[in-house]
């Protein structure tokens, strides 16, 4: 990675919303919309998955 990439990743991590931070519905919607407006919405700056897709059948089996 370039020096610029490392700096941007560091900034993204330090500015991220921390786990457990309560968000209003509007803040949640803005966060999701911002995520999907990204060039690579499926991974974080540290290459971790940002979301998972769960097939409807799997959800049905969880709540039987």
Tell me the domain boundaries of the chain: 3-62
Helix (H, G, I), strand (E, B) or coil at 43: strand
Can you give the pTM of this predicted structure?
0.66
The answer to whether residues 50 and 41 touch, using CB atoms and an 8 Å cutoff, is: yes
Task: Kindly report the length of the chain.
Answer: 64
pLDDT per residue, tens digit, the chain (64 aa), is 799 989 988 998 899 899 999 999 999 999 999 999 999 999 987 889 999 999 999 999 998 8
CA dihedral for 40, 18, 10, 28, sign (positive or negative): positive
């Amino acid at each position: 990675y370039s020096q610029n990439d490392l700096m941007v990743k560091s900034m993204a991590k330090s500015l991220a919303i921390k786990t457990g931070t309560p968000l209003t519905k509007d803040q949640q919607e803005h966060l999701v919309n911002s995520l999907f407006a990204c060039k690579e919405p499926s991974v974080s700056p540290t290459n971790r998955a940002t979301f998972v897709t769960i097939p409807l059948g799997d959800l049905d089996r969880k709540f039987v």
